[in-house]
Amino acid sequence: MEYVSAMPSSRRDSPPKTKRHASAAVIAAGERALARRDPALRLVIREAGPCPLGGRRHRSHFEALVRSIAFQQLAGRAAAAIHGRLVALFDGTRMTPESVLAIPEVDIRSVGMSAAKTASIRDLAAKAIDGTVPLSGMSRLSDEEIVERLSAVRGIGRWTAEMFLMFQMARPDVWPVGDLGVRAGYALMHGLEVPPTPKELEPLGDPYRPYRSVAAWYCWQAVHLSRGEITPR
């Protein structure tokens, strides 16, 4: 497919104030605003369909973070199998920091979890209990405060924290400039021969405020469309 090579307009609409947790209606408003601002993004929005950010959460914050750790550096099916066996250790009850620390480390390792990931999950549980990572009070923190708190956990870096902000907390204005897919998708949409570096991409997201999470999701879809991995609508 061919994308419009025009760059996003610097003109900013006057969007409604967005809540920290974006509803589906806020995400839909973001799609409309972004389509007006950027002709290249408009085409991807039309072909990829609605952005699912802002949907109902099915996991607790703790469970979502444990899943993120389990999926690090593994193919989807292998990670899903290991994570599924981990969840099964809790016999259908919700995984909590307390229940994780109550299980012997060897049991967590027995489901296929590496020593490093086991240590990360247990460190997350300990820091959730001592308040370093205030899972019940996350909604009161800014995006950057959440990144800072989560980065204190062994094995959780900025990228994992940003994915948590986007997909678990539905924060509408996250711009993960270190993500290779976002950089590649932006380049595809705007006819760039080389993807921008993280430093270069940072200001390129300014025209998308306060909906940069939505723009990032469509950057990923641009890559999928270019590979034929999803069918244009």
What is the per-residue pLDDT across 138-155, written as a single tens digit (0 to 9) for each? 999 999 999 999 999 999
Domains of the chain and any CATH numbers: 24-55+173-226 (1.10.1670.40), 61-168 (1.10.340.30)
What is the per-residue pLDDT across 76-109, written as a single tens digit (0 to 9) for each? 789 999 999 999 999 989 999 999 999 999 999 9
As to burial, measured by CB atoms within 10 angstroms (0-12 exposed, 13-18 middle, 19+ buried), residue 77 is exposed
Residue holding tokens 């997350």? Answer: 124
Which residue type sits at 19?
K
The stretch 130-144 carries a mean pLDDT of: 93
Please provide the DSSP assignment of 92-142 as one string: TSPP-HHHHHHS-HHHHHHTT--HHHHHHHHHHHHHHHHTSS-GGGGGGS-
Rounded (10°) CA dihedral 94, 86, 76, 188 = 50
Query: Could you tell me the pTM of the whole model?
Result: 0.86
Give the active site residues.
179
What is the per-residue pLDDT across 51-80, written as a single tens digit (0 to 9) for each? 999 877 789 999 999 999 998 888 778 999
